[in-house]
Structure 1
């Protein structure tokens, strides 16, 4: 087989995607696999057609990468790929929908309001501020419903800051999510399934110097301290892992995901899911893999084999 790692794309997260793709491709080559790196452009489908036994590893972040569109195309072309199908990706990528699904499954998650830009524009910010404050309280987190890498995310301390935070979120999409700000310990839980059912890898505790895990904190070396496994009681770590696996199942995910969790007074809450976890030098999933005694290359080699077996009806 030939593994095609697709990275780049045209989303706001192109640079992060390229870095993730390069790392995964290099790690797979180190396991002895044949790897081609590709971008999303007019050459991609011809490449898939002329490659013998292609298997795709989608490492696109945001937009095309996580909204299910590329995965739907791969399904039409009957090209096996690592990760969830298009429908599950689409549900997970939209934070307003994902949170509703998770809460319906009985999983704890913060209260949330989805506000389309059209409603915000027509009704005006002043008419909304009091109602939002009464329902959710302050501080709040405002973020785009469909975006990743914490782009467009703002912490709002008081009503006067809400309108500008919404405008920042709308720069990345037509729907903003307004959410309770939970104070606690943020952890990222990578969920891995190589054939024996999904299991949680050791949770990674996130300690941003700025106090908010935004884009700069995520991708600037030294801006955030990561502790693996998280410095929490064993029963809390287990509960966070159980919640992540439950969310992974509720969203219909497969192979690998990252579930972001906030632990508030020993109780974990779902924040959001990620169908294509970052694999850069400052990403969280590789830290979890290392703590689990494995690495990026071996994990993705197994996931590629699983995707191939699934396409052949063997798994």
Structure 2
């Protein structure tokens, strides 16, 4: 097997494509032949030693992937050799093979596209947990999605629409706004054309006829958070999903009082760990929605696994729309 090895977490340039011994699965593990692996923001942080999880060196980055089970370890009964799976294990995806914890593998129907599967778990699980579970989104409500053209943003648009909500998508270019419309957004805001804070508040007010959004989905943080929260509707729910812009915002807590609104934390990873049965039920429902055509990952592009460093550079340019996926031929 071959894999991109991180021996020194000082950045992408230090990654080395190496030939390694193909491992044998231990108890509770499966050996996976990787067909596709998506590139997520934590995959950049982890090779820079900036991520909350710090794996033992050396390690193979690549948190999310899809492939075919090649061998099963002792005690694995729900997976079999030849079965297609998707997995979000945190590391191991940027190579030709990996050992995966069987408990974290999602069995795939034969018609589930491998590229889609590699880009599926993180974004849809996060958005479902946020919108359906944490926000208790109802049909007819209005959702504002910030950073809407990215992977989690496009998944949030699709899930909100499937739940019967009206969706306003905020993104940084007209091209990204058009992408958001193509996956279901009812209205868009190009926030590069609206000065923060007042211009953004005015744009949100116009898009909601002065009422404000019932739910705000925020994977961005930074300067957008406070003007967005000031624009929220009465009894609104502000979903704290992430901080892709970098800075973690500080919100005046009196705003929650004035709007009768809630700040709601979204941590899907811990939800999956603490409530595995609920998480499994959610993933089964998401797989059904995919089969029904209600949701489908937006793929910015696929690139050969050998071009991983170029893919990292493209992600760093903030020009990605949807997900980047590395593929093995």
Higher RCO by CA contacts (8 Å cutoff, separation 6 or greater) = 1
Q: Greater helix share, 1 or 2?
A: 1
Do they superpose with TM above 0.5? no
- TM-score where L is the length of structure 1: 0.28
